[in-house]
Structure 1
Amino acid sequence: MSERTLLVIGAGGHGKAVAEAALLSGEWQRIAFADDRWPALCETFGWPVVSDVAGLAALEIQVAGAIAAVGNNAVREQWVEAIRAAGLPLITVVHPRACVSAAATIGEGSAIMALAMVGVDAAIGEGAIVNASATVDHDVSLGDFAHLGVGVHLAGGVVVGARAWLQAGCSAGYRVAVADGVICAPGTVLVVD
């Protein structure tokens, strides 16, 4: 079996966590990073930084796929567009210690992190983040480029709009709807009115 290299766009904290999850999954054996701090930043997490985002189409290394790994929803969406424009396959990373129902759907370019739970018939959009120890219970809908911070808990039937960001420790009761682009402060409790 040949070694597969994943290109992680973003060499910050989330990028390193996504890289680690990819390696632990066994689906990827090597990592390369792209980051706009290149060439001043040439290595992170023991792997090379090989390009800035603008240079993706001219990469001199062979990669089997790429993922945008940054917490900022708008930037992540731009980077997904750059991955596609460069003709690279957009992939999803699921940490091997996440629990994802076989009946859930996960959009391309999403990251499901360590100890996250995604329940039956949940639908995760494209380019979304379900961060460490987050719970996405049954029948939840998470929009494209939405971001669930560490320890967010969503009860069954919650709908989170595109580009919404529920920061660390937020919780939402059954059937709560969060509009597109909403940002909830850490620890916010959301209930149906």
Structure 2
Amino acid sequence: MATYDPMMTDFDVIREIKKRKRPWWKGHHSPMICEHLAKSLLVRMEQAAHEDEQLREKGKMVIKKLLLLKEFVEALHKTYLHRELLENGLLRVIGLWIKPAGNCILAFSVIRKRLLGSLLAVAGIEVKHLKQCELPKILMKLRVHKNETRHNRRLANELVNRWVRMVYNIPTRVKREQPRQSDL
């Protein structure tokens, strides 16, 4: 702990205190807080997906997912929530959000674009998470869907390729083999 220096301004003193203070997500109760945040967000997302599905069947405007999109993307940018989100079914819920409707109608392009882009930044996705959801199958369909945008196809293709490499233990960087003496 730093001692008080009479030459320090109030600003310097406060800055020193802030440097010593740990962020809340690194504290003792942080796993419980993160788990609660992740579960509540995923429950609301799942409810929004089901409500939009019911509204679509009734022929009404489907905006529940759009209203939650900004909050969800912001949560995906918080790396300290990634593990809890993944353990509580993040990929399953994203699959619900971007899955085409029964008559091959795609979800809003904005939703697909933002979720796929954010999903590229999520760290810690493991094979067990991929096996628990249908998201890889949905992305396989999206990357060849005739109404999908070029940008979203590229994002879906990048995610699928990344996950295939992870499942089959294919290195991401293939090294060129050195020529052998017998080849020369």
Q: Please indicate the TM-score interval, normalised by the length of the shorter structure.
A: under 0.3
TM-score (norm 2): 0.26
Q: Which has the larger radius of gyration?
A: 2
More strand by share: 1
Structure with higher RCO (Cα < 8 A, 6+ apart) = 2
